[in-house]
Amino acid sequence: MSASPASLHSTRALLALGIGGFAIGTGEFVIMGLLPEVAHDVGIGVPTAGGLISAYALGVAVGAPLLAVLTAHWARRTLLVALMAFYAVANVATALMPGALAVGLTRLAAGLPHGTYFGVAALVAAALSPPDRRARAVGLVMMGLATATLIGVPIAAWIGQQLGWRAAFGFVGAIALLAALLIRGALPPLPAEAGAGPWRELGALARPQVWLTLGIAGIGFGGMFCVFSYIKPTLVDVTGLTLAQVPPALSLFGLGAIAGNLVGARLADRALLPTIGGTLVYAALLLAGFGLLAHHVPTALLALFGLGGIVALGPALQIRLMDVAGDAQTLAAALNHSAFNIANALGAWLGAAAITAGWGWTSLGPVGAVLAVGGLAVFGMSMLLQRSVAARRSSAGARA
From CA 111, how far away is CA 60, in angstroms rounded?
5
In the chain, where the domains are located: 9-196, 200-400
Q: What would the pLDDT profile of 346-392 be if each residue is shown by its tens digit?
A: 888 888 888 888 898 899 999 999 999 999 999 999 999 999 888 88
Task: Note the pTM of the prediction, 2 decimals.
Answer: 0.82
Q: What would the pLDDT profile of 88-113 be if each residue is shown by its tens digit?
A: 999 999 999 988 899 999 999 999 99
Pick the residue with more confidence: 197 or 222? 222
Q: What would the pLDDT profile of 62-98 be if each residue is shown by its tens digit?
A: 888 888 888 888 888 999 999 999 999 999 999 999 8
Q: Do 156 and 79 meet the contact criterion of CB atoms below 8 Å apart?
A: no
Q: Judge if 9-196 and 200-400 fold alike in CATH terms.
A: yes
Look at residue 9 in the predicted model and tell me its pLDDT. Answer: 67
From CA 383, how far away is CA 213, in angstroms rounded?
10
Which secondary structure element, helix H or strand E, spans residue 90, and what is its range?
helix 76-96
Q: Do 374 and 350 meet the contact criterion of CB atoms below 8 Å apart?
A: no
Q: What's the mean per-residue pLDDT of the chain? A: 86
Q: Report the amino acid identity of residue 311.
A: V
Domain 9-196 superfamily per CATH: MFS general substrate transporter like domains (1.20.1250.20)
From CA 285, how far away is CA 381, in angstroms rounded?
20
CATH number of the domain at 200-400, please?
1.20.1250.20
Cβ-based neighbour number of residue 263 at 10 Å: 16
pLDDT at 48 over 80: no
Q: Which residues of 278-307 are buried (b: 16+ CB within 10 A; e: fewer)?
A: bbbebbbebbbbbbebbeeeeebbebbbbb
Q: Do 221 and 340 meet the contact criterion of CB atoms below 8 Å apart?
A: yes
User: Please, what is the end-to-end C-alpha distance for the chain in angstroms?
Assistant: 52
